[in-house]
Chain A
Amino acid sequence: MTDDAIPAQNTDDAHALPLAVGDRRRGRPEPSLNDPVFHISDLDVWYGDHQAVRDVTMLIGRRQITAMIGPSGCGKSTVIRCFNRMNDLIPGARVTGKVAYHGENLYDADVDPIEVRQRIGMVFQKPNPFPKSIYDNIAYGPRVNGMKGNMDDLVEEALTGAALWDEVKDKLKHSALALSGGQQQRLCIARAIAVRPEVILMDEPCSALDPIATARIEDLMAELAADFTIVIVTHNMQQAARISDYTAFFTADVDDKGVRHGRLVEYDTTVKIFENPADQRTEDYITGRFG
């Protein structure tokens, strides 16, 4: 393994990092996988000839926050993009195995990715509000999905749900691009929940934000988990430890030709992963010895 070459840090104490496991999930029910939303089995993903992810099998529990962590190139973003078929948009991407959503494989031939994405929303690494007003950003999804009802109420509800209403209620007609980065990201979360999905996928939602904005999004995630199933990819181990119920640790195997294949190493409750990991590679990663 290449990690032997990397100078070790914190080797003396596995808990030297200031990890406050479960800090932001106080008051939430015990982690449970009894009511799974996703049942992923034998998932392989190729980009052209390159197998980016190999053999992932895991359950995602309803109204749980599931974190996916691991070093760069371990395939965690690739895996999360399979959960709402966003990989369809990448030329040459190919998926085998099963991503069963309430028992129905998302990759069955007759499944419509548009229907999938109306139930399984996504928030991206960089805030990507449309160059429209705040109001129109939120109303976009409900409008194109033909949702009925009072749009003003819906916009207010979504913005309140994303803890943004008080900051923007007097400037709904202003451009969304005038908001700060953290506000823009909460706007994107509001835009996602406005179409009332069951699941919200978050692909490194805080990596472009400062620590204060990050803290607000983390608080928000804990609130949203009462109603939504959340899957988050993060580079920030402390973030995973603070907010998530379950943590999946991915890493990349390097084959004889030097090609990297992502794989799931260990998946368990966040407390178990961070306090008593079963796999040596997980322990090395979370203690900062590798990655």
Chain B
Amino acid sequence: MTSPTLKAPAGAGPRSLRRAKPRYGERVIQGLLLVAALVSVATTVGIVVSLIPPTVDFFERVSVAEFLGGTEWTALFSTPEYGVLPLLGATMLITVIALAVAVPVGLGAAIYLSEYADRRVRAALKPALEVLAGVPTVVYGFFALSFVTPRLREWWPGGGTGPDFQNALSAGLVMGVMIIPTIASLSEDAMAAVPDSLRDGAYALGSGKRIVSVRVVVPAALSGIVAACVLGISRAIGETMIVAIASGLTATLTVNPLEAMQTMTGFIAQAGQGDVPVQSFEYKTIFAVGALLFVITFVMNVISIRLVRKYREVYE
């Protein structure tokens, strides 16, 4: 069989390979996209830069050891003490309470949605769960103060007076509820990404659903689950409104969750409300606490990124 021969159209000379007209549109689009990408980076840099000078000023008067080791925080009092431990301790305690709620419930919800729920149930439940993430935190704060705390006081079984009017327990519990959707949704995504071939392999060895979920799917999705939890921790550490409303504004160094205490974010919110004159020393304390908070959440995010990278492509 002979193939038809291809001939160049008669009369047309060789076409130039040079661009007929410059394509400005491409460049404009590219530039706009670059700007969009740079906005968040620039903001981060801006925050760091604006944090540095007041923080440096602060540490010229208060030593790092005094700041990180001191047990009294009375920055806005007439005889100020600048030991950040009460604020740091309150942040940690409330975060731990929140995680104690959010990790088991979030992970349980994720396992249910990914492994047990049939398609229709999942289609209804997952968006409902994500709506919980859209509730403003100030609403959660008042929910903690005006609903959870009274119930805790009412039902308190032990002796003594029970929880204070403002307390870390109530704030922590409600904060836990707030971060359930973060942990559940991201963990569910990670589990849904586990290939069915692994589940088939496990079922074919005579495993039941519970074993397949716990021994195969969860370990295979572990990096995503850990990243979800770290993100939950970051949100808990950075959360402000719930703790400002429900946990109080008294910096106390205690591990008793029934007492009122002030977190780092709680202090910033209090001090930032306008009573503190700009450029006063009290004003600089806000930045010192803010810098510490930034360092903590930054480290958490780095850990999260590392974990995700380390275990990515694990099924390949």
Contacts and interface: CB of A to CB of B under 8 A. Distances in A.
A5 interface: no
A126 B197 contact: yes
Contacts of B206: 114-119, 141, 144-145, 195
Interface residues of A, number: 28
Interface in B301-316: 314-316
Interface stretch (B2-10, B46-54, B213-221, B227-235): B213-221
Given A126-B197, A131-B314, A177-B314, A117 B119 contact: no
A89 B200 contact: yes
A285 to B, nearest CB: 28
B314 A192 contact: no
B202 interface: yes
B54 to A, nearest CB: 48
A136 to B, nearest CB: 10
B65 interface: no
A124 B201 contact: yes
Contacts of B220: 130-131
A128 B200 contact: yes
Q: How large is the interface on B (under 10, 10 to 19, 20 to 34, 35 or more residues)?
A: 20 to 34
A124 B197 contact: yes
B207 A128 contact: no
A122 interface: yes
Contacts of B203: 86, 89, 117
A144 B205 contact: yes
Interface string B81-125: 000000000000000000000000000000000000011000000
Contacts of A48: none
Contacts of A124: 197, 200-201, 204
A239 interface: no
A121 B205 contact: yes
A119 B204 CA distance: 10
Interface string B157-182: 00000000000000000000000000
Interface string A187-222: 010011001000000000000000000000000000
A117 B316 contact: no
Contacts of B132: none
A13 to B, nearest CB: 27
Nearest to B200: A124
Nearest to B210: A144
A86 B198 contact: no
B41 interface: no
B118 to A, nearest CB: 8
18 contacts: A84-B204, A86-B200, A86-B204, A89-B200, A91-B118, A119-B206, A126-B197, A128-B201, A131-B220, A131-B314, A132-B219, A140-B202, A140-B205, A140-B216, A144-B206, A177-B314, A188-B201, A195-B205
Given A117-B204, A131-B315, 17 more contacts: A86-B200, A86-B203, A89-B199, A89-B200, A89-B203, A116-B206, A121-B204, A122-B200, A122-B204, A124-B204, A129-B201, A131-B198, A131-B220, A140-B202, A140-B205, A191-B201, A192-B204
Q: For the complex of A and B, list the 3 residue pairs with the smallest distance between their C-beta atoms, beginning with the closest.
A: A118-B206, A122-B204, A128-B197
Interface of A: 84, 86, 89, 91, 114-119, 121-122, 124, 126, 128-132, 140-141, 144-145, 177, 188, 191-192, 195
